[in-house]
A and B are shown apart, each in its own frame.
Chain A
Amino acid sequence: MANTSSRIVITGVGLTAPNGNSLAEFRSHLLNGIAGVEWIEVRYMGRLPAGVCHFDPLRYQKKKELRVGTRAGSISIYCAREALADSGLDFAACPKDRVGIYIGCTEHGNVETENEIYAISKFGYDTRFWSHYHNPRTVANNPAGEVSLHLGVTGPAYTIGAACAAGNLGLIHAAQMLRLGEVDLAICGGVSESIHTFGIFAGFKSQGALASNPDPRRASRPFDKGRNGIVVSEGGCLYTLERLDDALARGSKIYGEIAGYCVNSDASDYVLPNPTRQAECIRRAVAHAGLEPRDIHIVNTHATATPQGDIQECEAIRAVFGEGCPDTWVNNTKSFMGHCMGAAGALELAGNLPSFSDKVVHPTINVDDLDPLCALPGLVLNLPKSVAKADTILNNSFGMLGINSTLIVRRYVA
C-alpha cells in the first residue's frame, strides 16, 4: 500500500441534488425510494420533467453575488461551503495559496448566452443591451472562479470540461494534484446548471433521447423496458480531498480513500458509447486500484435511460464482472434524480459513500419491467439491499465525444 503522503482521502462532502441538499438527506431519500424530478417550464419548449435543486443560495451568498454571478457559480459556492463545514477544517487558518479548486462541468455558458439573446430580443436585437457581465459569466472557469472569489482562494481554481464524465474527473484531477504536491487541500467534484438552458433539452429531444412520462418522478427509468431517454437535471457535489497524513494529523473523519481510476476515450463516435472502451476503462481502474473485479462490492452505473446506452454499459460491465463476482452489487442513482450532467459522477459517488458504514446498497428505482439485456447479476432493483461486504465503490461516468471515467473509492483502513 502507498505511503500516507500519496494516499488521498475524502474528508468532507457538500452537495445539492434534486432530492436532497445534504448527504444525510440525499442518502435517506435514496434508501426510501424518494425521487426528485418535477415539471418545469422550459423556454420555447413548455412543460418538461427535470431535476431541480432547492437549496437556499442566500445561505452563503449575498444578493449582489447572485445578481452578478451564475447559477453554476452559486451551486458551486453552496457545495464548497457545505463541504468545508463538513470537513471540520479551520479554513480561516488554511494557507489560501495551497488550496486548489477543481470543478467538473459538462458545459458552461449556454444558460447566460441564451438569456442574453432572449433579453436583447426585447430590444430589437440591439447589442447595446447585451450585458457587460456576459464574458465573466460565460468563461469556462466561471464556476471555480466564483468559488475562489467567494472563499479568497489564491491557489489554482479552474473547471474541467469532460461532458458527463466531469464529476469523476474533478476528483481524479484533484487526487493527482495532491499527489504531485501542487496543493494541500482540494475542493473538487462537479456541478451542472443545465436545466436553465433550453438548448440541452432541445438537443436531446432532436436526438430522440429526451425522457417523457406522465409522472415526472417516474420519467428517469434506467434498465426498464419502458425507458425513453434522459431527464435533464441540475446539481452539484464538491468534496474536500486531502493527503492521508494531513487528514490523520488533524484527526479528521474519513469518508473513504481514492483507490484507483481510469480515464480513456472511445475515439469512435460523437455521441454513441463504445462498450469495448468502457470495459477497458473499468478494467484499468480496477487494476490501478490493485484489485480484482470480485473485490468491487458496489458498481454505480452511468446509465442515463437511453434505450441503447444502458444496454452498452451493461455489456461493458458484464464483460468485466461476468458471473463470478458474488459480492458485486450494481445500482443506478439517476433513476432518482435524472442526469445531473457534470455533477452526476460526483453526486452518484456521494449517494453510495454511506454504504461503507451502513452496508446497504441503494436501489435503482422505476424498474417495473426489467429489460433482459440490462439484467446484470447483482442488480439492486427498487428496494435497498443489505450486503455482507461494502468496502469498495466503483463509479462509472461517461460522456459525449467518447470520454469514459471510472473512479474507485474504498473504505478507509489504516
Chain B
Amino acid sequence: MTKDECKNAVIAIIADIAPDEDLSNLKPDVRLRDQLQLDSMDFLDIVMELRKRHGIEVPEADYPKLASLDSCADYLTPKFDAIHAARRAS
C-alpha cells in the first residue's frame, strides 16, 4: 500500500465520522484536530473503524501517531502492509 492509499483509507473513515466537514482541502502535515471539529470520542471512532474495516489494532500509547494524515500514513502503512501480507499467506 502506498502512503497516499493509506491516507485515502483514513479520509474515508473520517468522512463517516465527521459527515458535516469538508475534507477536500485537508492539509496532510497539519493536525487533524486543528482542521476539523474532532474530539477525543471521534479519535476513538477512528481507532474502532481501523479495527472493524481493516483489522488494524492501535494501542492507546500510539494514539498520538494518528495526529495528522502524514503521521497516520507513516504509522499505518506498515500495519496495512503486514495485514495484507498475512492475508496473502493464509
Interface size on B, residues (CB 8 A): 12
Chain A, range 15-66, C-beta contacts under 8 Å to B:
62-64
CA distance A270 to B41 in the complex (A): 40
Q: With an 8 A cutoff between CB atoms, is A250 at the interface?
A: no
Main secondary structure of the interface of A (DSSP, over half): helix
Q: Which of A91-128 contact B (CB under 8 A)?
A: 123, 128
Q: Does B1 contact A (CB under 8 A)?
A: no
When A67-B17, A67-B19 are in contact, do A128 and B41 touch as well, CB less than 8 Å?
no
Smallest CB separation, A121 vs chain B (Å): 13
Q: How long is the Cα–Cα vector from A54 to B17 in the complex, in angstroms?
A: 24
CB distance from A151 to the nearest CB of B (A): 18
Checking B20, B48, B51 against A63 with a beta-carbon cut-off of 8 angstroms, the contacting residue is B20
Interface: B83 (CB within 8 A): no
Q: Which of A140-173 contact B (CB under 8 A)?
A: none
Residues of A within 8 A of B52 (CB): 123, 129
- Min C-beta distance of A131 to chain B, whole Å: 7
Q: Could you list 4 further interchain pairs (A-B, Cβ under 8 angstroms) beyond the known A63-B19, A64-B37, A132-B41?
A: A64-B20, A67-B19, A132-B45, A133-B41
Q: Please, how many angstroms separate the alpha-carbon atoms of A131 and B47 in the complex?
A: 11
> Sorted from nearest, which 9 A-B pairs have the closest CB atoms?
A63-B19, A62-B20, A132-B44, A63-B20, A64-B20, A64-B19, A64-B18, A132-B41, A129-B52
Q: Measured between C-beta atoms, what is the minimum distance from A146 to chain B in Å? A: 14
Q: Does A68 contact B (CB under 8 A)?
A: yes
Residue of B nearest to A126 (CB): B51
Q: Mark B3-23, 1 if CB is under 8 A from A, else 0.
A: 000000000000011111000
CB within 8 A of B48: which of A64, A68, A131? A131
B14-41 contacts to A (CB < 8 Å): 16-20, 37, 41
- The total of interchain contacts (Cβ-Cβ below 8 angstroms) comes to 24
**Chain A nearest Cβ from B58, distance in angstroms:** 12
Query: B37: nearest residue on chain A (CB-CB)?
Result: A64
List residues 35-71 of chain B with CB under 8 A from any CB of chain A: 37, 41, 44-45, 48, 51-52
- Cα(A62)–Cα(B21), bound, Å: 10
CB <8 Å contact, A128 and B20: no
Q: Count of A residues near B, CB < 8 Å?
A: 11
Q: Which residues of chain B have a CB within 8 Å of any CB of chain A?
A: 16-20, 37, 41, 44-45, 48, 51-52
A-B contact pairs, 24 of them (CB 8 A): A62-B19, A62-B20, A63-B19, A63-B20, A64-B17, A64-B18, A64-B19, A64-B20, A64-B37, A67-B16, A67-B17, A67-B19, A68-B41, A123-B52, A128-B51, A129-B48, A129-B51, A129-B52, A131-B48, A132-B41, A132-B44, A132-B45, A132-B48, A133-B41
Bound-complex Cα distance A253 to B20 (A): 37
Tell me the minimal C-beta distance from B57 to chain A in angstroms: 8
Residue in chain B with minimal CB distance to A133: B41
- A123: chain B residues within 8 A (beta carbon): 52
Please give, as numbers and ranges, the residues of chain B lying within 8 Å of A129 by CB-CB distance: 48, 51-52
**Shortest distance between the CB of B15 and any CB in chain A (Å):** 11
In Å, the complex CA distance between A123 and B19 comes to 25
Q: Which residues of A contact B48 (CB under 8 A)?
A: 129, 131-132
Complex Cα distance, B17 from A133, in Å, reads 13
Complex contacts, B18 vs chain A, CB 8 Å:
64
Distance of A298 from chain B, by nearest CB (Å): 44
**Of A62, A64, A123, A131, which is in contact with the most chain B CB atoms at under 10 Å from its CB?**
A64
Measured between C-beta atoms, what is the minimum distance from A255 to chain B in Å? 35
Contacting residues, chain B, for A68 (C-beta < 8 A):
41
| Complex CA–CA separation, A382 to B47 (angstroms) | 56
A128 CB contacts on chain B under 8 angstroms: 51
Assembly CA distance A62 to B44 (angstroms): 20
* Minimum CB distance partner of B45 in chain A: A132
| Chain A positions within 8 Å of B20 at CB level | 62-64
A132 CA / B20 CA spacing, docked (Å): 21
By beta carbon, the residue of chain A nearest B52 is A129
